[in-house]
Amino acid sequence: MIKIRGLTKRYGAFDALKGVDFDVKPGEFLVVLGPSGAGKSTLLRCINRLAEPTAGDIHIDGQLVKPDAASLRRLRCQVAMIFQHYNVVPRLSVQKNVLTGRLGSMPSVLSWLQLFPRKDVAIALECLRRVELEDKAELRTDTLSGGQKQRVGIARALAQQPKIILADEPVASLDPKTSRTVLNYLRQASRDLGISVVCNLHQIDYAKEFGERIVGVSGGRVVFEGGPDQLTGEVLHRIYPGLDESDARSAAATPAPAPVLRHLELEEA
């Protein structure tokens, strides 16, 4: 689904990314793990062309991503983004925030007037149902908690009906319980809908719990690629060079928590 080769991003004399190579399979939940400043956000911004790479190639669904308008339009239809700080419009209703995910497939006149066809409203409500927020569709988004706002962000991304979702530290501002709930919704949507997810995280335990595969990034380079069970103390020390070796061994030995079940599954149990 995604093929990245030699990806480099330079800001002046600083190389934020240094020849990054890896692939993402269709329907895979891949975690990019690394400390703050490792280049994780720059990586996602280069994939969706919010930042133009200095060098290297990115192929999405077999097609080379180019900086021309037609290529970028196609890219933005295929790739959705979930942001660290929600990026919702506080004054709009929950439903209208989710409907903004449909703007790319609508005629310009309708999008300017915020006139959404019934089929798009139905898609938005289905996406809200998937994150269990359908009962809050008419509320202003600024009345929601942080976790609920991030669930709106997930629903908005799903409403775009993308092939790929890029999630940039989506739980950095949330408490542990809410973080696991949000990540579980995202992983479940990936499994149910076959969406490839690239999720930036810096928390080792979440990476082990949710990642099907993990790409470790440090200093703008890929220093590890493998399964959660391969996150040994030595590997974690490579990803987090400043991490004490005993702490790295302890983090590697800690088993991933049991997956968080959705509310309805808990009721049935």
* Residue 201 pLDDT class (50, 70, 90 cuts): very high
Bridge partners, 27 (sequence order): none
Domain boundaries, the chain: 2-87+165-268
**118-142 pLDDT per residue, tens:** 999 999 999 999 999 999 999 999 9
Q: Convert the pLDDT of each residue in 13-38 to its tens digit.
A: 999 999 999 999 999 999 999 999 99
Res 86: pLDDT? 87
Q: What would the DSSP string read from start to end of 60-98? A: ETTEE--SSHHHHHHHHHHEEEE-TT----TTSBHHHHH
Sorting pLDDT into bands at 50, 70 and 90, what band is 148?
A: very high
Phi (first) and psi of residue 16, to 5 degrees: -75, -35
* Contact in structure between 128 and 73 (CB atoms under 8 Å): no
Q: How confident is the model at residue 113 (pLDDT cuts 50, 70, 90)?
A: low
8-state DSSP, 262? P
**190-221 burial code (b ≥16 CB/10 A, e <16):** beeeebbbbbbbbbbbbbbbbbbbbbbbbbbb
What is residue 255's predicted lDDT score, i.e. its pLDDT?
A: 64
SS3 164: strand
What's the confidence (pLDDT) of residue 108? 56
Average pLDDT, the chain: 89
pLDDT, average across residues 233-258: 75
CB neighbour list of residue 261: distance below 8 Å, 6 or more residues apart? 184, 269
Question: What is the structure's pLDDT at 269?
Answer: 28
- CB within 8 Å of 137: residues ≥ 6 apart: 93, 94, 95, 124, 125, 128
178: which 2 tokens?
């809410």
* Fold of the domain spanning 2-87+165-268: Rossmann fold (3.40.50)
Q: What angle do CA 120, 153, 142 make, to 5 degrees?
A: 100
Distances (CA, A) of 136 to 84, 146, 158, 176, 184: 22, 14, 17, 23, 20
